[in-house]
Amino acid sequence: MPLRTVRSTCSRAALHLTRIVLDRTVTGLETCITVLCETPTPAVQGLFVLLFGAAFYSYCKYFFSLLPLPTVPAWHIWSGTLTMMPSLVFFVLASWTDPGVVTPENVEQYNRQYRLDGVLYQPRTCATCNIPKPARSKHCRVCNRCIGRMDHHCIWLNTCIGTRNLRWFLAFLASTAAICIYGAVLGARIMHGHMGVEGAWKLARVRRGSGRLEYVSDSALTTLRYVLERYPVQFCLTFFLGVMGWVLTGFLGYHIFLILSGTTTNEASKWRALRKDLARQAAFDPAGLHLDLAPDNAYDWGPGRNLLDALVPRVPCTKDSKLC
């Protein structure tokens, strides 16, 4: 068989094999996304607990083992450990508390909680649950149930965030953000204090090219280079905690803004879609009629009352819920 024919056959076989591997990889990824994001599964909850435990173990091994230091006392070991507890407690409460499941038995209570505004919510019946849909409720396709004052479905908690567990969700975000920021600041202080004990600020090396001495304390770049060489794990852990702390703080701030505005994540998305639709109609209105691009939010009762409404549920939990 000619060498050119052999090469051509091998190329086609390799291409065919690559396509098979890519197709199976994409199918596998789609299956994983479907399982994790579109079906109730405790896998992501387990992943959070695993990450939480791994971060705490790494912190004990690489940071707490360096204490005490002249600038960082040893009591941070106990304060850091105790600060973790609220996050885990609120994680359990947010995950297992009834989010506000609407049932035939309590649908009238949810109907009395909010009135239909005629803008975002019209009189409708849930085709899946076969019950009237109260105002501000939504049927979650992941949980396959209607949730009162539905905000969103959280895959990390494996449950919806609704009228009854929103308070625990906010507490979980706040406590987790606090422990991340506390861990990042404490980690930076421990590295700084340990460098002082080792005399690292007086260390110097000969700079390539110029041949002059370059001290660790000369610039932020030289300090960063030394930290990456001397404390690689500590730096990565501190950086991770700092980023997560700011991300969670931003997420918490966004939810507080929505609450004070008398809306939810689900409703914010609906308002954006509605305003885009009205703006499109106004642009193509041949008569040039004015269209109200910002309808009033019937559920905005002022920041104080909005906050009280979000944090104090007015409908009792269902009988089969694990926590209330």
Give φ, ψ of 153 to 5 degrees: -100, 125
Cα 206 to Cα 36, 209, 221, 273, distances in angstroms? 52, 9, 15, 61
Q: How far does Cα 19 stand from its chain's mean position? A: 35
Q: Can you name the residues that pair with 160 across neighbouring β-strands?
A: 153
Sign of CA pseudo-dihedral 173, 175, 178, 182: negative
* Nearest to 80, CA basis, from 59, 62, 99: 59
- Length of the chain counted residue by residue: 324
As a whole number of angstroms, the distance between CA 174 and CA 289 comes to 47
Q: Identify residue 257 by its one-letter amino acid code.
A: F
Would you give the DSSP letter of residue 101?
A: B
Phi, psi of 98, deg, nearest 5: -55, 120
Alpha-carbon span 182 to 83, nearest angstrom: 9
Distance between CA atoms of residues 230 and 195, nearest Å: 9
What does the alpha-carbon distance between residue 43 and residue 131 come to, in Å, rounded to a whole number? 31
Catalytic residues: 154
Distance CA 57, CA 91 (A): 19
